[in-house]
Amino acid sequence: METEPLMNCQEFEELSGAYALDALTEEERRAADEHLAQCPKCSRALQQLRSVVELFPLTVPPVEPSPRVKERILARIEEQAQQQRLSQIQPAWPAQAESRFRQRAGKRWRWAALAAVAVLLLSLLGGSFAWNISLQQQLSHLQQQVALLGSPEAPAVYSLRGTARASSARGEVMYFPRQQVTVVVVYGLPPLQGTHVYQGWLLRHQRPTSIGLLTVENGVATLNFQGPLAGYDSLAISLENGPQPSLDAPKGPVVALGTLINSQANYHG
């Protein structure tokens, strides 16, 4: 007697981003692995996605996505948001058509997968274009949904505020504990002049550690880096002469600062 497959291609496609970022539960990963063992098409797609994920901790040169790509990404996010709203009113699929995996998995993994893919897109594109502001807003909404659903993959979120040198600046530090990846997004920093650069720093007992240079486009500064945040007190952004980063400590003024003590998200690790 043949057993019903735990997952089909459409379900794996929805989970593929979370799979590549190791953001699945044991049950989800077991079902995905069983499907991959029998589906060369999804296995090839996963290999391609993983080749992109390997670039995640790196600074990637900004590439202008085509209008069609922008439209498809944002439409996909909105489609998932609409499905989530409808699922609160009525089941997303007829009961007789649901696979056993969908019945067990529920809503949480769909949001976790979409949030993971949105973070990947935001990080790889570096916040380099105005449309990424819309993507970041959608990402914030997704993070709230994941947190409300009790997902252990919800990021810890910390606020950044501008100092007197950049009083209108504000931003967020989003830390994904399972992947140990941090995404920094800052708005409202003064435009850079000449060779000047914005540099990020982690502070532990007032001792700074450089986390790299921020990419700035259209008033949005972004930086992603890999590594644990445990033990660090705060994160700072400084204005440096450039074009190379300062080595051991900021040489220019600090323009934004945020504590890493109390997170806004319901992550406990």
Q: What is the pLDDT of residue 92?
A: 45
Domain locations in the chain as residue ranges? 9-148, 156-259
Please state the rounded mean pLDDT for residues 23-46: 85
pLDDT tens track for 82-120: 555 555 455 444 444 444 454 444 444 444 444 554 555
Tokens of 127: 């916040």
- Domain 156-259 grouped into CATH 1.10.3470: no
pLDDT tens track for 200-217: 999 998 889 999 999 987
Q: What is the pLDDT of residue 104?
A: 45
Q: What is the pLDDT of residue 149?
A: 44
List CB contacts of 18: < 8 A, sequence separation 6 or more. 24, 28, 109, 112, 113, 116, 117, 153
Q: What is the pLDDT of residue 202?
A: 96
Q: What is the pLDDT of residue 201?
A: 96
Number of other residues whose CB lies within 10 A of the CB of residue 202:
21
Q: What is the pLDDT of residue 205?
A: 84
pLDDT tens track for 150-205: 444 567 888 899 998 898 899 888 888 877 888 888 989 999 999 999 999 999 98
The pLDDT confidence band at residue 45, using thresholds 50, 70 and 90, is confident
Q: What is the pLDDT of residue 269?
A: 36
Task: Look at residue 56 and tell me whether its pLDDT is greater than 70.
Answer: no
List CB contacts of 209: < 8 A, sequence separation 6 or more. 201, 202, 203, 232
Q: What is the pLDDT of residue 50?
A: 65
Average pLDDT, the chain: 71
Which is more confidently placed, 105 or 261?
A: 261
The Cα 144–Cα 141 span in angstroms is 5
Cβ–Cβ under 8 Å, residues 171 and 160: yes
